[in-house]
């Protein structure tokens, strides 16, 4: 089949080298990860970071996550601690982001962290981005590859449609398996989850052997995951709705629902992991079909359901 997206490339030695050259020149590329697709640039370069903010129309007070291939590279930029290593050993590479203290001699450009003394770091688990990270001598600043406040992309086409020709190169790494953004945990003090994700509070609690706080109350941190409005498909969403006959799009969960054409099931098996993986795909599909309103049933608020409800609540927020 002909590739109608001229900026999407499959991954091979040639496109690997091209990607590295683009990044070295201070330009940005769209890359796959296991969570969602990212817009990547050199985290040491002021120009790259500026370009990321400009393309995403991202408010300048929202810091970016910096990506590494292993803790050995991250160690040069941030101060790692015991809790970090406990989680790293069990989960990484994987869908978790750690907020840690920035080293005084770190080369990460101050605009990445909006001049804060902390850096959010992640070790993505996707073979394409891992092979790129291993070949470059700088970390990648990389937020999700969508316009600010919009739904995150889970495949290369989503990225291309979002930025059109403004992003010259997007590497196709298939569909993002996890489908929602990483869990963000602040480890600079007592562990605190700033953004829920697939890695649940219980799982973290078990690994750390201690309690973990949730939420960013009393925190001065300002970051996109904490913005009230985010992950929005641009159509009004109504949460916790009981099933009723409507012509609007209805997002369901579990097997008891009918197969009406306006019903979109997150998981017939009531599997929250599957629901998370399908969430953004379904929101995009509903938008494509030009529905004007989205109703959604109540999603259990436990484990991965906490992350799904977090995204839905903010997708539904009008502000
Ligand atoms: P995104 O890359 O768009 O999926 O979102 C970045 C997320 O990283 C935000 O939701 C923040 O919670 C988090 N973040 C990035 N840098 C920091 C930081 N220095 N301190 C706290 N949170 C951060
Ligand atoms: Mg994002």
**pLDDT, tens digit, for every residue of 211-258?**
899 876 444 454 544 666 778 888 999 999 987 667 899 999 998 777
What does R_g of the chain's alpha carbons equal in angstroms? 19
SS3 130: helix
Distance 16 CA to ligand 1 centre (A): 27
Q: Whose CA is nearest to atom 11 of ligand 1?
A: 223
Instruction: Please give the distance, rounded to the nearest whole angstrom, from the Cα atom of residue 229 to the centre of ligand 2.
Output: 11
| Residue 224 beta carbon below 6 angstroms from any ligand 1 atom | yes
CA separation for the pair 155, 171 (Å, rounded) = 10
Tell me the per-residue pLDDT of 165-214, one tens digit each, with 9 for 90 and over.
Answer: 999 999 999 999 999 999 999 999 999 999 999 999 999 999 999 989 98
Distance from the CA of 34 to the center of ligand 2, in angstroms? 14
Dist CA 31 CA 38 (whole Å): 5
Q: Is 93 in the pocket of ligand 1 (CB under 6 A)?
A: no
pLDDT tens string 48-73: 999 999 999 999 999 999 999 999 99
Predicted TM-score (pTM) of this structure: 0.94
Decide: helix, strand or coil at residue 295.
Answer: strand
């Amino acid at each position: 089949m002909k590739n109608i997206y001229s900026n999407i490339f499959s991954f091979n030695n040639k496109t690997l080298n091209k990607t590295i050259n683009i990044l070295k020149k201070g330009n940005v590329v769209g890359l796959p990860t296991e969570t969602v697709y990212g817009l990547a640039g050199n985290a040491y370069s002021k120009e790259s970071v500026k370009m990321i903010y400009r393309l995403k129309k991202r408010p300048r007070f929202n810091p970016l996550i910096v990506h590494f291939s292993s803790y050995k590279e991250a160690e040069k930029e941030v101060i790692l601690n015991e809790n970090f290593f406990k989680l790293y050993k069990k989960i990484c590479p994987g869908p978790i982001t750690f907020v840690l203290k920035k080293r005084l001699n770190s080369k990460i450009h101050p605009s990445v962290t909006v001049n804060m003394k902390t850096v959010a770091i992640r070790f993505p688990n996707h073979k394409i981005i891992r092979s790129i990270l291993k070949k470059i001598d700088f970390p990648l600043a990389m937020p999700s590859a969508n316009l600010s406040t919009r739904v995150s992309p889970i495949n290369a086409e989503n990225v291309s449609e979002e930025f059109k020709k403004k992003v010259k190169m997007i590497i196709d790494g298939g569909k993002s398996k996890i489908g929602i953004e990483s869990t963000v945990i602040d480890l600079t003090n007592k562990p605190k989850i700033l953004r829920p994700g697939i890695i649940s509070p219980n799982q973290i609690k078990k690994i750390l052997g201690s309690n973990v706080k949730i939420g960013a109350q009393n925190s001065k941190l300002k970051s996109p995951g904490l913005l009230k409005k985010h992950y929005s498909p641009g159509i009004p969403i109504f949460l916790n709705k009981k099933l009723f006959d409507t012509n609007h799009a209805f997002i369901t969960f579990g097997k008891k629902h009918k197969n009406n054409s306006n019903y979109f099931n997150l998981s017939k098996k009531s599997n929250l992991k599957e629901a998370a993986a399908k969430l953004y795909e379904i929101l995009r599909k509903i938008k494509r079909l030009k529905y004007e309103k989205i109703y959604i049933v109540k999603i259990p608020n436990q484990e991965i359901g906490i992350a799904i409800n977090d995204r839905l609540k903010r997708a539904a927020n009008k502000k």
